[in-house]
Chain A
């Protein structure tokens, strides 16, 4: 049913950490009017939709679930940049682990 493609729909380039923005972004992801809830609503509504065009649209927009997979990297990049300020050695540690293995 879901087919994962190992790429994003749109590139994510985050230059600066921003915990406040990260908090807002994550509310768009799982909050009360977030993408997660919306996409599941579309996917339920498609079962009782009588018009073929609209049935297809509900199905295909519900599947834009993949948008969630763009939101999530934005969030984690914002946070990673934040923690890497708090713990300056984080990236060095990560590099060391990568070299070790």
Chain B
């Protein structure tokens, strides 16, 4: 379970890192259709992974998940803690 969460998080981080780079590139190259396709492809993948992650491992953002009981946002680890990133 933990193994899966860490692996999931790793894959989300890889995709998000690529998405940030493409995002900044597209700001100055808004007509690059090829880059837009790659960007869309990564975003589709990461949306699916994030949904799976939040279902299995806890919320990523505080305003976009349906909460169970008790409120899980306060659960460790936080990203700056051991095993949290």
Contact = CB atoms under 8 A, between A and B. Distances in A.
Interface of A: 3-12, 53-54, 56-57, 60-61, 64, 69, 72-73, 76-77
Interface of B: 9-10, 12-13, 16-17, 20, 23-24, 27-28, 30, 58-63, 73, 78-80, 85
A6 B80 CA distance: 10
Given A4-B62, A11-B10, A53 B28 contact: yes
Contacts of A61: 24
A56 B62 contact: no
A75 B1 CA distance: 29
A53 B30 CA distance: 8
B16 A9 contact: yes
A5 B12 CA distance: 12
A9 B61 contact: no
Contacts of B13: 7-11
Contacts of A57: 24, 27-28
Nearest to A76: B80
Contacts of B73: 6
A3 B58 CA distance: 16
Contacts of B58: 6
A64 B16 CA distance: 13
Contacts of A11: 10, 13, 85
A69 B23 CA distance: 19
A3 B65 CA distance: 13
A54 B27 CA distance: 8
Contacts of A9: 13, 16-17, 20
